[in-house]
Amino acid sequence: MRTIGITTTYDGTELRYLRGHRVRIVAVLKNALRADYDPDHDGQHITDEDDLARAGGVTADDRVEVQPWLEAEGRFSFVSSDPRAIALACFASLKR
């Protein structure tokens, strides 16, 4: 399954301003929910599909960098957010 660049819906409650909005995935923050997460460690911010596959794909321990769709402007926002992967409709099957 392709991940980077796909459009899905945010279904979580953590980021209320995104609830129900269409978002585009721009990166995966690998293992960002783990206690030992180090954002400065190489390979934590993944923007390439092949790199993501080598890292084991998206898991429940990941956050996903997304850009919301701005309906009135007909484009995706320049601003991004990083919800938990399981809060996106396309990763609902990862919920524990």
* Helical residues (DSSP H) of 30-83, grouped into ranges: 49-54
Distance CA 96, CA 93 (A): 8
- pLDDT tens sequence across 27-51: 999 999 999 988 788 788 999 999 9
Q: What is the pLDDT of residue 39?
A: 78
- Listed as ranges, residues in the chain with pLDDT below 70 are 96
φ, ψ for residue 84, nearest 5 deg: -65, 145
> What residue spans define the domains of the chain?
7-94
Task: Report the candidate in 32, 22, 21 with the shortest Cα–Cα distance to residue 64.
Answer: 32
